[in-house]
Amino acid sequence: AEEGGEHSTVDMEQRYFTGLRQVAENRSEMERVQLNYDQVVLDMKTRLEQKQDKVRELKEGYGKLKTEVANGVAGSARVVPAKLLKQFEEQEARKEEDLERVRLKNIHLRNQLRKLEGNLRRKEELSNELHLIDFEQLKIENQTLNEKIEERNEELLKLRKKTTTTVQVLTHLKEKLQFVQAENQLLKVELAELEAELSTHRDALTKAKHDRDALRSENLRLRGEAGLIGNNDLLRDFDRRKKDIASMQVTVESLKQRHKNLRENILEINAKGMGVTGGSATNY
């Protein structure tokens, strides 16, 4: 896609410079034609002056002829009065002047019309060439903008995919956090039960220790008084209480160890829960 865009841009630039070269050539041709027209105008002015001289000569001859005719030189039987002849000549001169002004104005207007038409044609040709150049430039800019839009669309698609992945990970972490919290709640309940049981055993152990101490004191007292020899019931009771005390101590140690393990598990679960919550906040 990038190679195709670069090739299209290079092709448009070549066409743009070709258009500029064509404009320069057209301007050069227009200058050459203008010089040719200037030469033609100069020749026509020269010819016009010659024609005007010829017309002036003809007018003078025509005026003399009219004067001769009016004076009866040409064999006319009737002579026109000089005053009337002068009046006719003045009227004719005024008419000729008016006609000359109208002719000159007509020529001027026709030349102005041709000049305006030529300017209009040149402006239209130049406008078409400039429009072509502007069109090519706009095509290049449009191609550049389309490439930028395509890049933005690709970036937007990547961001959407990343957002979808982040949402999925966040949902999974939330589910895991809920599971860990539920498990933590169950462990708390079990810990409370174990603490209650441990408290009961501690009370029993304390009572057993008190009984042991009392029995030990009693035993020492009885030993001091009579000794244990021959007192089988007392010996059996002493042995039984001693075994009970040893068993209770083992049970208490086991409960202590279990209580310690549960506390460590709860601390570890709480640490994991805080880690999950922190990770979720970071993802947000």
Would you state the pLDDT for residue 231?
Answer: 62
Q: What is the pLDDT of residues 189-208, one digit of tens each?
A: 888 888 888 888 888 888 88
Q: What is the pLDDT of residues 97-113, one digit of tens each?
A: 888 888 888 888 888 88
The pLDDT of residue 119 is above 70: yes
Q: What is the pLDDT of residues 171-190, one digit of tens each?
A: 888 888 888 888 888 888 88
Residue with tokens 């030469």: 39
The arithmetic mean of pLDDT across residues 75-81, rounded, is: 58
What's the Cα-to-Cα distance from 282 to each of 81, 170, 197, 270, 271, rounded to whole Å? Answer: 125, 10, 42, 18, 17
Would you state the pLDDT for residue 273?
Answer: 67
Would you state the pLDDT for residue 135?
Answer: 72
The pLDDT of residue 73 is above 60: no
The pLDDT of residue 76 is above 70: no
* Residue 205, token pair as written in the block: 């152990």
Would you state the pLDDT for residue 284?
Answer: 45
Nearest 10 degrees: Cα torsion 213, 219, 221, 223:
-150
